[in-house]
Amino acid sequence: MAQQRSLFDSDLRNMLKSGPRDRPLSRRHALFGATILAMIMLVATWLASRPDASIDEVDNSQVEYDPLRSQIAQVLNARKKTAVASSAALIPNKSVVPLGSSSASSADRGSGFEVDLWPAMKELPKVTVSVSLDTKAIHAVQPLSAAKMADSVPTQTVASSTKTNWVDIDIRPGDSLTRIFNRLKLDPAVAITIAAHRKGQVLTSLKTGPRLKIRLTDGQFRELEYEKSLKQLLLVKTTDNGLRFDTVNRSFEVIEQKATGVITSTLFDSGLKAGLSEPLLYKLMSTFEWQIDFNTDIRSGDQFAVIYEERFLEGRKIGTGPVLAASFILSGKPHHAIRHTDSAGIARYFSLDGTSMQGKFLHSPVRNSRITSGYSLRRFHPILKVWRPHRGLDFSGRNGNSVLSTADGKVVFVGRKGNYGKTVIIKHGSNYRTLYAHLSKYGKKVRKGRWVQQGQIIGYVGSTGLSTSPHLHYELWLNGKRRNPLKLKLPRATSVRQNEKSEFLRRASTFSAALNRLVDA
């Protein structure tokens, strides 16, 4: 059997042989390459023969401007021009060597110097001018000093372009003075300094709304104005001595307004038509709540008249003041209320003879409500389906309506109480107690042992406990027994003090005449 030849036994010349031998370049390709090479050489020769061609040429656009170097160059150019002018004046008959001549007399060269008018360039001779210079003329040309050069520059008066503007800030929930400064791209360290000041601590907890104004000058903080309340402003200004804090007290412009109307459907609708606001109508109804049941006593054709205040601040109405005097003519019977502020600063409403319009207890613990189930010793229970006593009043209301304390007192119970659900019990003096049941939740700061005032919110209408729908169950206890609030004779508030009564009667007479004119108009 023939032995297989190894790699080392093979002829290397045969192994190195590749495919067919490459073809030589065609004549056309060679001619094209020679043409390209010739063009490159021609371009290079032309560039080298340019007068401004220089290997060391520098792109002046990339060189940083040096004022000192520029001044030196200007002075040297001025010297050169002056020297040329002086030599021409001293030797008027000297002629310049023609460009075609490449030599000059040695005598001329010895008495002067050479001035190169053209840069070195190929195939062009160097142009020289042989002159005799006056030494005094040369030294007369001195470089300008910095002061003289500054004086030679025309001055221009630049008008001040300081820009000052106020920025109104609508404070958002969670805003701080530092965050507001960051939004305005101001230095937050200034905000921290302001808020840390003893007089600026009110700015650590900003109230939401359009209460803040900041004055900027050229984008820098100069002043801020913060509305602490309707009556007070806090001003913070930057001065040469640091920050200055000022508190400005503002006064309201009070305007007395009058309105009258005839009740056609409800007092609420008729009052709105007469131009009264909703808050003012609630004040009006609460003033007469002890004399008038607005759910049952109002009839179509009844009349009302009211004198009240409106408050303005800087020409802008900011609210409705108190009711000064009001009257209702119900079925021909007049009811009057006159506002009186005693020597202690407490304002109350009284009838024309000085009797208090306000009882010790409110008639209703829910505003603008009606009684859906009265006090009864025998009532069919809607859930238990049995006859049993109902020793209280049920007032209608929507879930979440405010429940008011009917008198001043002390909270003695807050929590769940069997079928009553969530309940609040308040003690008034030593003999009276009131109970408020089926609440959805309790009022803020209503805790056992705390005192509450008449009209304060102590809870909200709900349907907790044994209840079919949202309503308030209200009970009045006297000496430990539940009584009918509608029939029980309740104590009234005190009348006008004797030492203040004469002044009150005078004002009451004036207001009564004004109310009568409104009704008769």
CA 105 remoteness from chain centre = 89
Strand order in the sheet with 232-239: 164-171, 209-217, 220-227, 232-239, 242-249
Q: What angle do CA 237, 242, 243 make, to 5 degrees?
A: 35
- pTM assigned to the model: 0.45
> How far is it, in rounded angstroms, from Cα 320 to Cα 322?
7
| 379 and 337 assigned to the same domain | no
- Cβ 475 vs Cβ 482: under 8 Å: yes
Question: Which of these, 397, 472, 386, lies nearest to 434 by C-alpha position?
Answer: 472
| 226 and 241 assigned to the same domain | yes
Position 212 scores a pLDDT of 94
Mapping DSSP onto H, E and C, the string for 37-64 reads HHHHHHHHHHHHCCCCCCCCCCCHHHCC
* 182 in a structural domain: yes
Range of the domain at 343: 253-350
Quickly tell me which residue has 């003090």 as its tokens.
Answer: 497
| 399 and 382 assigned to the same domain | yes
> How far is it, in rounded angstroms, from Cα 377 to Cα 470?
23
Position 246 scores a pLDDT of 94
- The CATH number given to whatever domain includes residue 401 is 2.70.70.10
Question: Given CA atoms 503, 509, 512, 513 in this order, what sign does their dihedral have?
Answer: negative
What are the average pLDDT values for consecutive 10-residue runs of the chain, which has 521 residues?
A: 53 51 62 83 71 47 51 61 59 43 42 42 47 48 46 43 82 92 92 92 90 91 91 92 91 90 89 90 84 80 94 84 93 92 88 84 86 80 75 91 92 93 91 94 92 92 90 93 87 84 94 92 72
* 492 in a structural domain: no
| 294 and 244 assigned to the same domain | no
Question: Which of these, 387, 334, 358, 226, lies nearest to 283 by C-alpha position?
Answer: 358
- 58 is written with which tokens? 């520098």
Position 385 scores a pLDDT of 72
| 207 and 224 assigned to the same domain | yes
Single out the residue in 249, 276, 309 at which a domain terminates.
249
| 239 and 171 assigned to the same domain | yes
- Cβ 188 vs Cβ 178: under 8 Å: yes
Position 231 scores a pLDDT of 84
* 199 in a structural domain: yes
Position 99 scores a pLDDT of 40
Query: H-type helices in 322-449, by residue range?
Result: none
| 326 and 264 assigned to the same domain | yes
- 241 is written with which tokens? 């001595």
* 317 in a structural domain: yes
* Cα-based torsion angle of the residue sequence 475, 481, 483, 489 in order, rounded to the nearest 10 degrees: -120
| 467 and 405 assigned to the same domain | yes
Which residues contact residue 417 at a Cβ distance below 8 angstroms, ignoring those fewer than 6 apart? 423, 437, 465
* 308 in a structural domain: yes
| 405 and 475 assigned to the same domain | yes
Question: Which of these, 102, 122, 116, lies nearest to 54 by C-alpha position?
Answer: 122
- The CATH number given to whatever domain includes residue 243 is 3.10.450.350
* 36 in a structural domain: no
Q: How many domains does the chain have?
A: 3
* 463 in a structural domain: yes
* 176 in a structural domain: yes
| 286 and 318 assigned to the same domain | yes
Residue type, 32: F
Question: Which of these, 347, 325, 344, 323, lies nearest to 335 by C-alpha position?
Answer: 325
